[in-house]
Amino acid sequence: MACGGSRITNRGMHKGCFVIPTILADVDNKMVVAQQEIFSPVVCFIRYKNEQEVIEMANDVQFGLGGGVWTNDINRALRVANASETGRMWINNCNEAPSHTSFGSYKKSGIGREIHKMALNHYIQHKNIYIGLNETKFNLYQ
Residue 17 pLDDT = 85
Q: Which residues contact 10 (CB under 8 A, 6 or more apart)?
A: none
Q: pLDDT band for 40, please (50, 70, 90 cuts).
A: confident
Domain enclosing residue 79, as ranges: 49-137
Say how far apart CA 108 and CA 119 lie, in whole Å: 18
Give yes or no: residues 65 and 20 share one domain: no
Does 1 lie in the same domain as 66? no
Percent of the chain with pLDDT over 90: 37
Both 40 and 58 in a single domain? no
Same domain, 60 and 129: yes
In a domain, 142, yes or no: no
Same domain, 84 and 130: yes
Tens digits of residue pLDDT in 84-135 = 998 888 899 887 777 677 676 777 776 666 666 666 776 777 777 776 777 7
The pTM for the full model equals 0.67
Give the pLDDT of residue 140. 66
Residue 72 lies in a domain: yes
User: H helices of the chain, where?
Assistant: 32-35, 51-59, 74-83
Structural domain count, the chain? 2
Mean pLDDT of 46-50: 94
Residue-level pLDDT at 29 = 93
Question: What is the pLDDT averaged over residues 73-80?
Answer: 94
